Amino acid sequence: MLDRVHLDRSRAPILDRVPVRTLARIVSGVALAAVGIAHFATPRPFIDHVPSPLPAPLAIVYATGAMELVLGAALALAPPGNRLLAGRMTAAYLVAVFPGNLYVAIAGIPVYPAAWQAWARLPLQPLFIAIVLWSTRR
């Protein structure tokens, strides 16, 4: 009976036809861009991520928000020949901002509703980096 079933993939939902790597790249880009927008819409929690010795925390938040918007767009929209570069640049950026997440956890900065969430956030950064690099490789 099953050998007679013909699946017409042209009528399948779009998500069934998009490769997982492409979907991961686009979702990562949209998520990063959304966080970038949040830097401008609600800067307070992001200001708290900036270690106190650094000057001009609001300017740093706006600069990182702009970077996240640009990198998110690059991940989601870059043509195939530029995706590897977009992935590597995004990974480098995510490594560069990781100390801010570490600072929040170690210093106990109340950015999240519960302190454990700052610690739970830390292993997500390397995971996101891995997804970005995997989804943009050739």
Domain ranges across the chain? 19-136
Tokens 């918007």 map to which residue?
A: 69
Residue 108's SS3 state is coil
Position 129 pLDDT exceeds 90: yes
Q: What is the pLDDT of residues 60-111, one digit of tens each?
A: 999 999 999 999 999 999 999 999 999 999 999 999 999 999 999 999 998 8
Position 21 pLDDT exceeds 90: yes
- Opening angle at CA 126, ends 120 and 128, nearest 5: 95
What type of residue sits at position 18? Answer: V
How far, rounded to the nearest angstrom, does the alpha carbon of residue 1 sit from its chain's CA centroid? Answer: 45
Decide which of 30 and 15 is more confident.
30
